[in-house]
Amino acid sequence: MDFSQLAETMLALESTKSRNEMVEVMAWLFKQQPPDEARFSVYLLQGAVAPPHAGIEVGLGEKLVEQAISKAFGYSQKEVQAQYLKSGDLGKVAEKMCSAKRQASLFSEKLTIKKVFQTFYRIATLGGHGSQEAKIGLLAELLNNASPLEAKYIARFPIGRLRLGVGDPTVLDALSFMHKGDKSDREALESAYNKCSDLGLVAESYIRDPESIMKFSMQPLMPVRPALAERLPSPEEIAKRLGKCLVEAKYDGFRLQCHKKGDKVEIFSRRMERMTNMLPEVVSAIRQLKCKDMIFEGEALAYNEQTGEFYPFQQTIQRKRKHGVDEKAAEMPLRLFAFDLLYVDGKDISQEPLHARRKMLEGLIKGSQLIAPSESYITSSADEIEAHFQDFVSRGLEGLMAKDLSAPYTAGARKFAWVKLKRSYRGELSDTVDIAIIGYYAGKGARAQLKFGGVLGAVYDPHTDTFQTIAKVGSGFTEEQMKALEEKLSVIRVKKPNARVRSLMEPTFWVEPKYVITVNADEITRSPQHTCGRDSGDVGYALRFPRMVGDVRTDKRPEDATTVDEIIGMYRSQRRVERNVQEEQ
């Protein structure tokens, strides 16, 4: 298929904020494509050349893209830079200069989706001496063969500025709509995606044979989308909801998904990033486990070997690095607390009850010096849940997880099979909230020199694939954090909100949803200013007196932010607690 058709699809997506229209536009594209090209289109529409766990990113900086535009169209770099400063969009610069080329190429060829994808993949994987010039040359070649509209999206792609607003749920809906004319296959498509974390593979399989998605199963070395926990406000509600359950320590570390296939080991973060090379001692410990293949989950914490004290997340996060890995591993070794087993020796056991999975897991890791089962107890008593909770918190842990002993593992889903209860302080919510930054404010007064006055944060609605505002956060930042955030956010500034953002507020600068921070607040209130859960009465939900906690959450994607449904659930739980307190008084 010609790349021009994908470029026209991108233009249509950029031009609408209607999710139904986006679904129909992509469904039309998928319907025209052979199966193997659908994979390329899905990756390109999401600004990628591979699923996240492959760890392959194009990652060309703006300066290199400017050089490629200059080389392709015969303009000086100063002219390209001047136009970029004026428009703030390298895509528009490329489109304009392509329309008025100053040099004609000797040879040109019509671009196909496959050609564009393969070129970007090659750019992403080139390395070594001279690779930078080679990447510029490859990008310039694409631009040289492009129409003005094609050039617009080709220039935006390597710097991550497509501005299409295409999230995973929208792609899944479009695939279903392509085949069924409605969203009735969405659940089956999502189930397949949860088991492989590769949206391109799901699209290719579904277009080739819609029945094939029913045959997807977990496979070692291919990450599974993690199960998620719900919230309840008290031990009494947990006991009432779950009855006899597993009560487990909630650690404040890296959530890791560990895969073994023979001697091959891969480790993925909760956002399905490959972390294998960062954790050599964990890889060695997994390799020694006595099974052919397995997939299990655990929480890794850095600790002090002399005192046995576990470090907080802010220090554990230092183990996530590309350089100086061995030195940091010696300085801050890890312990891995395993809590669930999904696959072992050729068998997907995720649908077995938790108590059976847990028993198998404990048998497999027995004797390991680095890997231990998470601390856990079985109880049906609210008083015992409260006692364990207080014990965990007194030891510096986050709180506890309560799990249904009979429940299967629900990949990619948030259900009451897992419930979390976290520590809180007087005047705060019973849990923190993770928000995606969608904009920020210029500094005023004492913060004028820092150029940073706070952020506009949003939570995620997977039903509509949108980010909905919930708070303007201006406190909790250190001076160093404010400087670092301004540097990060200034790079991803855009002139208008991302197509998936729903906001009534106007920050000084809009940014692409990329970074997640954790905030606490006094309570959740109803507000006409915010769009989170906005109802027919034009009233949404907001955080009262929000403040940032910790640092930017590099382990979470924007789509991993707290959901609108969770906020509504927290608000209702908060109201129940308030009513109970009033009744007791």
Residues with catalytic function: 250
Cβ atoms within 10 Å, residue 224: 24
Query: How many angstroms separate the CA atoms of 164 and 12, rounded?
Result: 9
Span between the terminal Cα atoms of the chain, in Å: 70
Phi, psi of 549 (to 5 degrees): -125, 125
CA–CA distance, 278 with 181 (Å, rounded to integer):
45
Sign (positive or negative) of CA dihedral 215, 218, 223, 226: positive
- Residue 167 near residue 465 (C-beta atoms within 8 A): yes
Q: What distances in angstroms separate CA 353 from CA 105, 172, 357, 459, 551, one per listed residue?
A: 64, 29, 6, 32, 36
Calpha distance 289→260 (Å, rounded): 9
Cβ neighbours, 10 Å, residue 476:
16
CA 12 to chain centre: 25
Helix axes 131-144, 148-156, angle to 10 degrees: 150
Q: Residue 494, Cβ neighbours under 10 Å: how many?
A: 17
**Angle subtended by helix axes 35-45 and 113-125, to nearest 10:** 60
Identify the helix (H) or strand (E) that includes residue 470: strand 466-473
| Segment holding 551, helix H or strand E | none
Sort residue 578 into left (φ over 0), alpha (ψ -120 to 50) or beta. Answer: alpha
Q: How far apart are CA 530 and CA 536, in angstroms?
A: 13
The full length of the chain comes to 585
- In sequence order, what DSSP letters do the residues of 262-313 get, joined into one string? TTEEEEE-TT--B-GGG-HHHHHHHHTSSSSEEEEEEEEEEB-TTT-PBPPH
Element (H, E) at 340: strand 334-344
